[in-house]
Amino acid sequence: MSVMEIRSAADSRLRAMPKVELHCHVEGTARASTVAELATRHGVPLGVDDPDDLYTYGSLADFLNAFGVVCSAFVEPADFHRLAYEAAEDAAAAGTRYREMFFSPGFHLDRGVPFHVMWEGLASGVADGETDHGVRTRLILDVDKPKGIGPAMALLEVARTLDRDLLIGIGGDSTERGLDHHIFEPLIAEAKNLGLKTCFHCGEDGPAENIEIMVEAGVDRIDHGTRLLDLPDLARRVIDAQIPLTSCPSSNVEIGIVESLESHPFDEQRVAGALVTLNSDDPAFFRFDLADEYERIAAVFGYDHEAMVSIRDNAIDASWLDDTDKAALRAEFAG
């Protein structure tokens, strides 16, 4: 066997490994070809000749701008169905079997797309994606943090009425810059009252202090948490409580949060005992999938297959499945 053959055998082993993903935005899975087709159908200007050009940026602000443009192509229930369905199809190709996936109503409501249009399309797309591609998906409603606490609480009112077999949690994304994260404390408290799980993007383009605020607020998971080790006492607390981090190292590189995968704190966090998981964040935007992320991280940090299995198992532990379902997934993955 040549070196290349050995390498590609290792790669396909990681691709075939059944996986769980906890940090992926459904809008971030939108294929450029789908966005282009829907934009033409609905007469929505994308501002580029080649839709692939949408997926280039040098900062989180650029990225979020592109994210908004991509969202604008989705108008009807059938569009959201297609978005969720293709997300499942692409996830299956990466070996993903279970996914807790964000959707971002703020971006769609802003354009006059009613909540039920998005929800009905996503729900049927998730169901058909599971039937046809074997990817079980549950949804997390992500509030757009810069809009503030008012719109976030209004979305929580809507969430109250949704099917809890599908909607399992509330999160918050977008930039941390210029935002006092204390304002989201009532959102987390009320979501918990409603029996929803909670997570928040923090410690990505903002400081570790934002992680501390959200830990104090009682979130169940930290999305990114890249800056966690900047505050050793906080890190100790997060590690002792095994509050999971949904890490997205390649996303952090693409968006310019860290310079390179080599300099990403993922390994340091793992060695320190943090419950780290690997995730793709916005795979279509970054042109890689979860299997690629596993392969890159294994290569960069020299992890053997056993280490990658343990990182995958972290995602089962960190998921919001109940203990019976977690045990069933572990048995299924071992079989």
Orientation angle between helical segments 323-334 and 305-318, nearest 10 degrees? 160
Catalytic residue, from 21, 100, 204, 254: name it: 204
Contact status: 221 vs ligand ADE (CB under 6 A): no
**Closest distance of CB 201 from Zn ion, Å:** 6
- Give whichever of 266 and 303 is closer to ligand ADE, judged by the CB atom: 266
Q: Which residues of 193-225 are buried (b: 16+ CB within 10 A; e: fewer)?
A: eeebbbbbbbbbbbebbbbbbbbebebbbbbbb
Vertex 226, ends 21 and 153: CA angle to 5°? 70
Pick from 34, 72, 96, 174 the residue near ligand ADE by CB under 6 A.
174
- In the complex, the smallest distance separating the C-beta of residue 60 from ligand ADE, rounded to whole angstroms, is 6
Q: If you count them, how many residues does the chain have? A: 335
Could you say which residues in the range 241-300 bind Zn ion, by CB under 5 A? 281
Question: Which two three-digit tokens encode residue 54?
Answer: 């949408």
Q: In angstroms, what CA-CA distances link 318 with 10, 183, 225, 322?
A: 26, 26, 14, 11
On whether the CB atoms of residues 42 and 73 are closer than 8 A, the answer is yes
Token pair for 115? 């909540």
Query: Is residue 21 part of the contact set for ligand ADE (CB under 6 A)?
Result: no
- Residue 201 interacts with ligand ADE (CB under 6 A)? yes
User: Is residue 25 a contact residue for ligand ADE (CB under 6 A)?
Assistant: yes
Q: How many CA atoms lie within 13 A of 78 on its CB side?
A: 5
Q: Is 204 annotated as catalytic?
A: yes
Q: How far is the CB of 251 from ligand ADE (least distance, A)?
A: 5
Q: Nearest residue by C-beta to ligand ADE?
A: 173
Q: Does 289 bind ligand ADE (CB under 6 A)?
A: no
Question: Nearest distance from residue 175's CB to ligand ADE, in Å?
Answer: 7
Q: Which of residues 40-79 bind ligand ADE (CB under 6 A)?
A: 60, 67
Give the interface with ligand ADE as residue ranges (CB under 6 A): 25, 28, 60, 67, 173-174, 201, 204, 251, 255, 281-282
Active site residue ranges: 204
Give the interface with Zn ion as residue ranges (CB under 5 A): 281
